[in-house]
Amino acid sequence: MASEVAAIGAGVPQAVGTRWFRKAGGMPPAMFARSAKPLSGRYLSFAEREEIALLRVQGTTMQEVARQLGRAASTISRELRRNAATRSGGLEYRATTAQWHAERAARRPKQAKLARSAALRTYVEERLAGVVVAPSGDPVPGPVVSWKSRRHGPRKNRRWANAWSPDQIAGRLPVDFPDDETMRISHEAIYQALFVQGRGALRRELTACLRTGRVLRMPRARTRGRGKTFLSPEIMINQRPAEAADRIVPGHWEGDLILGLGSSAIGTLVERTTRFTLLLHLPRMAGHGHEARVKNGPPLAGHGAEAVRDAITRTIVTLPEQLRRSLTWDQGAEMAQHARLKIDAGVRVYFCDPHSPWQRGTNENTNGLLRQYFPKGTDLSIHGADEIAAVATALNSRPRKTLDWKTPAEALDQFLLSADKDRVATTA
């Protein structure tokens, strides 16, 4: 930069040049300044563009250029496509021209594409918020929903519209306009036009046509912090003993809740080797349906963390110690007190990965069998502890093909008898 200023200053009177530098605080005049602020390391620098131009003249491939610069090959390909010199009609790449193209594209503020193109804006609005029509072609207005500048709540009327998602709109444009490159926009640009104030392209109330109905975007930091705070790497399923996966040694359990009407629930525990099933009675707490829940208090539906912990402890401590090796659960909040459960019941708790029910396949299968007695959509709180125990007995008395047609109760008894014989032999 200093050499450029020196060359320019050679044709300017010394006094004038001194005034320029003095006014600018020792910096070159604004007319000779860069057209944009220096770019961060995320973007290609002028030195890198010079290296690209030199290597391309030498016939180096894009992959080799990317390797030498430590960049992705797609970055080099995009750079050659977007910022090449086109005055001669070709795509000859020059570093100075490419730098000028990049700095011009980086200038802000820049008018949104939807604000510049009326045809594109009309297309997006019609697919996003257009009127629903019957097969006859007559418009069907749907319920009247007033705009309240906030998200619609659950169990409330929604505005009826075409309701194409921004992703669907962006993906359909090349199909409807294969030869018109001006009719292109990304789904992210549509979301920006809806959520970001000042973009000035789409009306804010059109957010009601989105599936979620959000008027504000969910910050990524909030979604990252939404994970279960009671989870840690050492209690995930990949840390579970290998003997649990092999199903050779009994004592490893899988657990879950089956839910019914009105947030009623029954807990299920299934032993992986013998398929022996234990059911947890989770009665509703006093005041359910009549009193408001106390903030940060226990869920009155009866399957909060404390209630589930106590129910598992009461049930599993009745088993011999060799049958209390581990318990695998999903990442439900009802197991937030797993550390206390480990102390009270003497069983180690492990958690499955998110959205991975197959990691508790035995329990999922058993829950399906239990729906014969506790159908979905029914109130499970009407069943008392004795009734639930009777269902568990019936399930444990069924012969199972995977056990060579033995019942889970017989398989468990056989293990306990063999364990007693081994202990007596060892003592003797």
**Strand blocks (E) in 272-339:** 277-281, 326-329
Instruction: Compute CA 354 distance to the chain's CA centroid, rounded to the nearest angstrom.
Output: 10
Q: Which residues face 326 on adjacent strands?
A: 252, 348
**Alpha-carbon gap, residue 174 to 181, rounded angstroms:** 8
Backbone phi and psi for residue 267, each to the nearest 5 degrees, phi listed first: -85, 145
User: How far is residue 313 from each of residues 26, 280, 310, measured CA to CA in Å?
Assistant: 76, 10, 5
- Going 165 to 167 to 173 to 174, the CA torsion angle's sign is negative
Report CA dihedral (373, 379, 381, 382) to the nearest 10 degrees: -70
Entry pTM: 0.54
Cα three-residue angle 365-368-374, rounded to 5 degrees: 145
3-state secondary structure of 252: strand
Distance CA 231, CA 420 (A): 37
Q: Write out the H or E segment, with its range, that includes residue 126.
A: helix 118-129
Task: Provide the pLDDT for residue 26.
Answer: 44
Q: What is the pLDDT of residue 84?
A: 82
User: CB pairs under 8 A, 24+ apart, for 73-76?
Assistant: 75/44, 76/52
At a CB cut-off of 8 Å and minimum separation 6, what does 275 contact?
362, 366, 400, 402, 403, 408, 411
C-alpha–C-alpha distance, residues 317 and 311, integer Å: 10
DSSP at 61: -
65-69: Cβ within 8 A, 24+ apart: none
Q: 49 near 82, Cβ under 8 Å?
A: no
Task: Give the closest residue to 186 by CA, choosing from 202, 203, 198, 169.
Answer: 169
pLDDT, residue 86, reads: 66
Per-residue pLDDT of the chain (428 residues; tens, 9 = 90+): 444 434 434 444 444 444 433 444 444 444 444 544 555 678 899 999 999 999 999 999 999 999 999 999 999 999 988 888 766 556 688 899 899 988 888 887 778 888 888 999 999 988 888 888 888 888 888 888 777 766 666 667 777 888 888 899 999 999 999 999 999 999 988 888 888 765 556 777 787 778 777 767 766 665 555 567 778 888 999 999 999 999 999 999 999 999 999 889 999 999 999 999 999 999 988 777 667 666 667 778 888 899 999 999 999 999 999 999 999 999 988 999 999 999 999 999 999 998 899 999 999 999 999 999 999 999 999 999 999 999 999 999 999 999 999 999 999 999 999 887 777 666 66
At 325 the pLDDT is: 94
pLDDT of residue 200: 57
Among left, alpha and beta (phi > 0; psi -120 to 50; other), residue 40 is beta
Beta carbons of 301 and 288 less than 8 angstroms apart = yes
Q: What is the pLDDT of residue 134?
A: 84
> With contact defined as beta carbons under 8 Å apart, do 233 and 239 qualify?
yes
Query: Which residues lie below 8 Å from residue 341, measured CB to CB, with a gap of 6+?
Result: 309, 312, 313, 327, 335, 347, 349
- Cross-strand bridge partners of residue 259: 265
> Rounded distance, CA 325 to CA 338, Å?
14
